[in-house]
Amino acid sequence: MQRYVCLMRAGHPLAAGDFSMEAFMAATHAVVVAKATGHGIVEEQLARAGIDRPVRLQLPHFAAVPYIISESDLVVTVTDKFAEATRRRFGLAVREHPLPFPEIPINLFWHRRYHRDAGNRWLRGLLFAMFAE
């Protein structure tokens, strides 16, 4: 299971102290618009809760997120696993999201034909280790 958190540079004004919904809504945001990833739940939940925030940057994928966030005052909503994987290397701060999101299950599927395949087993093991709780 994964949960959503807010990621920002370590020196961001919201990296310490109060991180209320009002502070979240007043901050400038980057948004990852990654199709077919399930990340759209973020925008759906925020819209459903009537939460509007200034979005200054839309990104098509997660690869550039830590580079941009570490050099700006933008806040981005990402999964906790992504945040932990990038936090130290890029000098980022992780804050609990002020809006409670449902936890997200992570599933891995493969065809039974490849169940015993050595390469497939290696990849599955690697992914399980990365996303294990």
pLDDT 10s digits, 18-55? 899 999 999 999 999 876 666 778 888 899 999 999 99
Position 4 pLDDT exceeds 60: yes
Answer CATH for 4-96 from 3.40.50.720, 3.30.450.20, 1.10.10.60, 3.40.190.10 = 3.40.190.10
pLDDT 10s digits, 44-83? 889 999 999 999 999 998 999 999 999 999 999 999 989 9
Distances (CA, A) of 15 to 4, 96, 101: 16, 11, 20
Report, in angstroms and rounded to the nearest whole number, the Rg of the chain calculated over CA atoms.
16
pLDDT 10s digits, 81-92? 899 999 999 999
- pLDDT level of residue 103 (50, 70, 90 thresholds): confident
Higher-confidence residue of 110 and 36: namely 110
CA distance 21 to 42: 15
In the chain, domain spans: 4-96, 103-133
Buried b (16+ CB within 10 A) or exposed e, 12-29: bebbeeebeeebbeebeb
